[in-house]
Amino acid sequence: MKFKKHYVSILAIAFLFASCTKDDVAENDVPLGAYDNGILILNEGNYGTPNASISYISNDFLTFQNNIFLTVNPTKVLGDVAQSMSFDNDKAYIVINNSNKVEVVNRYTFESLGTITENIKNPRFSVVLNGKLYVTNATSKAITIYDATTFSYIASIELNKTAEKIVTANGKLYVMNGAYGYGNQVTVVNPTTKAIVSTITVEEGVNSIEEKNGVVYVLCGNSARSKLFKINSSSDTATSFESTTLTGSLNMDVEGDKIYYTSGAGVYVMNTTATSFSETALISVAYTPYSTFYGFNVIDGNIYTADANGFTADGTVTVYNSTGTVVKTFTVGKGPNNFYSNK
């Protein structure tokens, strides 16, 4: 009888493994490409020089590779100032600012899929919504719209003001009207009618915008204060709070129920339900203007920071865990400015 029970157990285990279909294995275990299940680092390069690049770190930090775009596409040049990236299904849209183009690649293999140049004028940021790619342009002060699959130009939305970072919420586009420490507005656009719905006035020095669960978070920082706005995307009404002790907050990322932000040499964190800034740094570093925290994102509980090293040397990436302990450091390309989860 004892043998029989063991035999039944073995059969049950065998049945359990047999019940896992090939599709299950493919979906859960097989990478979609060499650059799946990791972090993409955008290195903007030196202004006026086509040395922008992209680096890759696997989620377990065991695999690291620089220049993945060039490695996969040896006959193409990424370009001059890689400003930002956005994603849609298996595609990545790489906004190349000074080269006036958007390079499109398979986000997992990095094989080139095409280049968008029509009506691109000093592009800054992009987002995909309902099959369309929306790109903000600094020179034309407009949002240009493209088919996200064919990459063909569709139309433009004239803002007639600074067109910078862009997010979507509740079926609408929210565009930050500020850059380099100047600007105090967010423009709300209806993408269906291509009409401006409203303009929301925030604090001078608007620099970061994020969406989470229908709330649009806007961070502003200047020499007098830091101020955070929470915009309800249903009504486009905003609430805010500020700190005059913690001034000049610059970078923000929202993950889970936490808001992470930087000010000077420190990284700070507060809950999304907070009504006041945390003024106790989680991480403190040596500070060099325009280099320290040039790139900053929080992904899966890890805090990714980048030092541009004055653009005279390759950038340094330092990864911290949620308690502020250094996990890993990497040397990447020139001017690392952003990190993106690729899974």
Spatial separation of the C-alpha atoms in residues 213 and 76, rounded to whole Å: 39
Q: What is the mean pLDDT of the chain?
A: 93
Spatial separation of the C-alpha atoms in residues 293 and 337, rounded to whole Å: 8
For the chain, the maximum distance between any two Cα atoms, rounded to a whole number of angstroms, is 83
Strands 215-221 and 91-96: unpaired
Sheet order of strands, 252-255 included: 252-255, 258-263, 266-271, 283-284
Write out pLDDT tens, residues 71-84: 999 999 999 999 99
Write out pLDDT tens, residues 114-125: 999 999 999 999
* pLDDT for residue 18: 42
Q: What residues contact residue 129 under an 8 Å CB cut-off, 6+ apart?
A: 168, 171, 173, 191
Average pLDDT over residues 264-286: 97
What are phi and psi for residue 7, nearest 5 degrees? -65, -45
Cβ pair 124, 134 in contact under 8 A? no
Short-list 113, 46, 106, CA closest to 82: 46
Distances (CA, A) of 222 to 85, 225, 247, 252, 315: 27, 6, 6, 15, 26
Cβ pair 219, 261 in contact under 8 A? yes
Beta bridge partners of 143: 136, 157
Residue 2 has pLDDT above 90, yes or no: no
What are phi and psi for residue 289, nearest 5 degrees? -55, 140
Q: Is 211 exposed, middle or buried (0-12, 13-18, 19+ CB in 10 A)?
A: middle
Short-list 164, 165, 233, CA closest to 200: 233
Short-list 104, 133, 134, 100, CA closest to 117: 100
Residue 280 has pLDDT above 90, yes or no: yes
Task: Tell me the two tokens of residue 111.
Answer: 């094989």
Write out pLDDT tens, residues 139-197: 999 999 999 999 999 999 999 999 999 999 999 999 999 999 999 999 999 999 999 99
Residue 25 has pLDDT above 50, yes or no: no
Write out pLDDT tens, residues 122-142: 999 999 999 999 999 999 999
Strands 132-137 and 142-147: antiparallel
* pLDDT for residue 29: 58
The region, left, alpha or beta by phi > 0 then psi within -120 to 50, assigned to residue 170 is left
Spatial separation of the C-alpha atoms in residues 251 and 295, rounded to whole Å: 8
* pLDDT for residue 153: 98
> Helix, strand or coil for residue 303?
strand
Short-list 232, 206, 200, CA closest to 219: 206
Q: Give this prediction's pTM.
A: 0.91
Average pLDDT over residues 87-103: 98
Cβ pair 32, 48 in contact under 8 A? no
Cβ pair 101, 58 in contact under 8 A? no
Spatial separation of the C-alpha atoms in residues 307 and 283, rounded to whole Å: 14
